[in-house]
Structure 1
Amino acid sequence: MLDFLLLIVGFAFLVKGADFFVDGASSIADHLKVPAIVIGLTIVAFGTSAPEAAVSITAGISGSNAIAVGNVVGSNIFNLLIVLGASAALKTVKVQKRIIDFDLPVMIVGGLLLCLFCYTGNVVSRIEGAILFVLILAYVGYTVITSLKSRHSIEVNEPKFNVPMSVAVSIIGLALIIFGGQWVVDSATSIARSFGLSETLIGLTIISVGTSLPELVTSVVAARKGQSDIALGNVIGSNIFNILFIIGLSSMVNPIEIAPVIFTDLIFMMVIFIQTLVISMKQKCFNKKAGITMLVLFAIYLTYIIIRN
């Protein structure tokens, strides 16, 4: 009964936390006079990737960070097919020119580098990790500088909160998301074990989905509020952060050994990355049809990895 109670409370925290986080983040964007997409690509994306970062970096410190690549690859696939798919199924998500010209190519280059590092020697070394880490610093630096240069030419809305309240609401929202997500994962895992489900199946489903719950609820709530820039920026920014920051820092702490089974998933991730760019270039948006197609594709992929394992 306690597990079921924690599951309900956890989901409530996730939903309300996402509501606070989106409101606070959009208010910060209005105060800074920068596009909401920039906040989505940085503050929101990095914040919602905190669970993946915690899992991977902690594993790296303990010397068992082989989980890091699988965690990142699974999270990136989930972000695009489920998070973006669910958001688009609810409301059309428009794609800005900046995303097509810069952020999606950065995500693809990061993915290609990860594939290269994994395929050459079956390990991500400290030097390769440092390369990824330098790239995330350059990406964030470029994003901040370009947004500040264009801030005076951007029309923004009246901020919903004052500056201290905007920051406070964002922090409270993020805290609720992280705690709620952890409670959902822990309680769902306990319930699944009580029904006799295997550890492998639990890891592939509940844990991998659980660490991506912040991205899911934040983007879905943002899409429903009409903040499609935050919804899309969260997804793309999280994927860039996952590859460049999490893998980079984890492998700098301790080189990551790559399990051969992950190669198929890496290829699938890159196919999804390129598909996302193609749809963005052709349609300039993700509509309901594209969203449902992405959800179905994830169901097929999930079925495959369950059968494989």
Structure 2
Amino acid sequence: MPPVLQLLIGLPLLLVGGHFLATGAGALALRLRIPQLTVGLTIVAMGTSAPELAVSLLAAMRSSPDIAMGNVIGSNIANLLLILGAVGVLRPLTLTTSIRWREIPFMLLSIIVLAALVNDASLSSMGSGTGPDVLGRGEGVALIGFFAVYLYYVVSVARSSGMQAEEEVTTLSLPVASLMTVGGLIALIAGGRLTVSGASGVALAMGASEALVGLTIVAIGTSLPELVTSLAAARQGNADLAVGNVVGSNIFNIFWILGVSSTISPVPFNTRLNADLGVLAAGTLLFFLFTYTGRRHTVDRGEAALFLLMYAAYVGYLAVRG
């Protein structure tokens, strides 16, 4: 099957599989009497990151580390600059104190932790290059540990404040929920295999690197659930959900997806991706600063448009870098 066709089939399978898995698993959890708040903040939220998980996990297992790592970093950059930029142009984003001082700093922390872990060999050798930079199993466990802390914090804050889950979980019969869960998982596996294989083939045919394809085509494709969710929330005037969906997804992508992927199969790190981590960190800091410029606690349309311009410039840089 031609690589482009594999991508065209694989990406939709990922999106459908993620939706089915989140819906089915959420309904099963409710049948098991797990509180809807916990389901909404965990299972359903992870559903939007399921395509990234499938791609990165299968890429790591199939010895395509640049796709595994590039998919997560590229997806996070797309979430931040492309999705929040598009949402902010549609409707200015007024952020709560929690998002400004808890979630955004936690997102920045995830970037710093990842940068330290993937560059540990270079840092320990003080640049002498005595060993390759690899996100190993021990570091994967550390990332999962950070994810567990974040998850505990999210659920604890939600319960203490008496808030309800923002995501709606459909109540389904046990057979239907089970079928959707299994079907979603199968679609994710099949879609992940096709996407990884197609991305590698496209990179080879274009003479481009796997990192470039992972940072662009695959990253944007797997970010579509976040785009749809955030745009829908913005149209309804729910800035917290629009921004929280992106911020939560970015934290999930680094701590959970790369944690699980590297625990199962260590992921070699291409040091060229440090530049992309720098873009992600700079965008996150700028996002925080935007809440204190112009209209206080608000990302206005002009600032959101700047995000879109930054993303266009970033893609242009990637095309030149190759």
Q: TM-score, normalised by structure 2?
A: 0.71
Q: 1-side partners of 2:37 and 2:292: how far apart?
A: 24
Q: 2-side partners of 1:112 and 1:138: how far apart?
A: 16
**RMSD of aligned residue pairs (Cα, Å):** 4.0
Matches within 5 A, 1:63-78: 63-78=63-78
Kindly state the Cα deviation for residue 101 of structure 1 after the two structures are TM-superposed: 1.9
Matched, 1:237 2:248: yes
Q: Cα–Cα, structure 1 residues 204 and 274, in superposed 2: closer, same or farther, change >3 Å?
A: closer
Q: Cα–Cα, structure 1 residues 155 and 258, in superposed 2: closer, same or farther, change >3 Å?
A: closer
Kindly state the Cα deviation for residue 218 of structure 1 after the two structures are TM-superposed: 1.6
Q: Which residue of 2 aligns with 1:90?
A: 90
Kindly state the Cα deviation for residue 48 of structure 1 after the two structures are TM-superposed: 1.1
Question: SS of the residue aligned with 1:218?
Answer: helix
Q: Which residue of 2 aligns with 1:257?
A: 268
The answer to whether the Cα contact below 8 Å between 1:46 and 1:238 also exists between their aligned partners in 2 is yes
State the AA in 2 paired with 1:83. I
Q: Deviation per CA, 1:135-158, whole angstroms, max 9, x where unpaired?
A: 11111112112211221xx5999x
Question: SS of the residue aligned with 2:243?
Answer: helix
Kindly state the Cα deviation for residue 161 of structure 1 after the two structures are TM-superposed: 9.0
Q: Which residue of 2 aligns with 1:293?
A: 306
Q: Which residue of 2 aligns with 1:273?
A: 284
Q: Which residue of 1 aligns with 2:128?
A: none
Q: Which residue of 2 aligns with 1:141?
A: 152
State how many pairs are aligned.
Answer: 277
Q: Which residue of 1 aligns with 2:106?
A: 106
Q: Which residue of 2 aligns with 1:225?
A: 236
Kindly state the Cα deviation for residue 63 of structure 1 after the two structures are TM-superposed: 4.2
Kindly state the Cα deviation for residue 227 of structure 1 after the two structures are TM-superposed: 2.5
Q: 2-side partners of 1:265 and 1:303: how far apart?
A: 13
Gap regions ≥5 residues in structure 1: none
Matched, 1:61 2:74: no
The answer to whether the Cα contact below 8 Å between 1:87 and 1:220 also exists between their aligned partners in 2 is yes
State the AA in 2 paired with 1:73. I
State the AA in 1 paired with 2:257. I
State the AA in 2 paired with 1:303. G
Matches within 5 A, 1:8-19: none
Q: Which residue of 2 aligns with 1:117?
A: 117
Q: 1-side partners of 2:169 and 2:112: how far apart?
A: 41
The answer to whether the Cα contact below 8 Å between 1:45 and 1:235 also exists between their aligned partners in 2 is no
State the AA in 2 paired with 1:290. E
Kindly state the Cα deviation for residue 232 of structure 1 after the two structures are TM-superposed: 0.8
Q: Cα–Cα, structure 1 residues 112 and 145, in superposed 2: closer, same or farther, change >3 Å?
A: same
Kindly state the Cα deviation for residue 59 of structure 1 after the two structures are TM-superposed: 2.3
Q: Deviation per CA, 1:141-189, whole angstroms, max 9, x where unpaired?
A: 12112211221xx5999x9998559x98xx89xx6xx88xx69x97xx7
Query: Percent of counterpart pairs with the same letter?
Result: 35
Q: 1-side partners of 2:151 and 2:216: how far apart?
A: 31
The answer to whether the Cα contact below 8 Å between 1:93 and 1:285 also exists between their aligned partners in 2 is yes
Q: 2-side partners of 1:83 and 1:97: how far apart?
A: 21
Q: 2-side partners of 1:285 and 1:136: how far apart?
A: 28
Kindly state the Cα deviation for residue 260 of structure 1 after the two structures are TM-superposed: 1.9
Q: 1-side partners of 2:36 and 2:44: how far apart?
A: 16
The answer to whether the Cα contact below 8 Å between 1:44 and 1:234 also exists between their aligned partners in 2 is no
Matches within 5 A, 1:128-277: 128-151=139-162, 200=209, 203-277=214-288
Q: Which residue of 2 aligns with 1:306?
A: 319
Q: TM-score, normalised by structure 1?
A: 0.74
Q: Which residue of 2 aligns with 1:48?
A: 48
Q: Deviation per CA, 1:218-268, whole angstroms, max 9, x where unpaired?
A: 211221122222211110001000110011111111222111211111111
Q: 2-side partners of 1:156 and 1:141: how far apart?
A: 15
Q: Cα–Cα, structure 1 residues 114 and 160, in superposed 2: closer, same or farther, change >3 Å?
A: closer
Q: 2-side partners of 1:161 and 1:240: how far apart?
A: 22
Q: 2-side partners of 1:227 and 1:60: how far apart?
A: 36
Q: 2-side partners of 1:43 and 1:292: how far apart?
A: 32
The answer to whether the Cα contact below 8 Å between 1:220 and 1:231 also exists between their aligned partners in 2 is yes
The answer to whether the Cα contact below 8 Å between 1:129 and 1:251 also exists between their aligned partners in 2 is yes
Q: Cα–Cα, structure 1 residues 308 and 107, in superposed 2: closer, same or farther, change >3 Å?
A: same
State the AA in 1 paired with 2:220. V
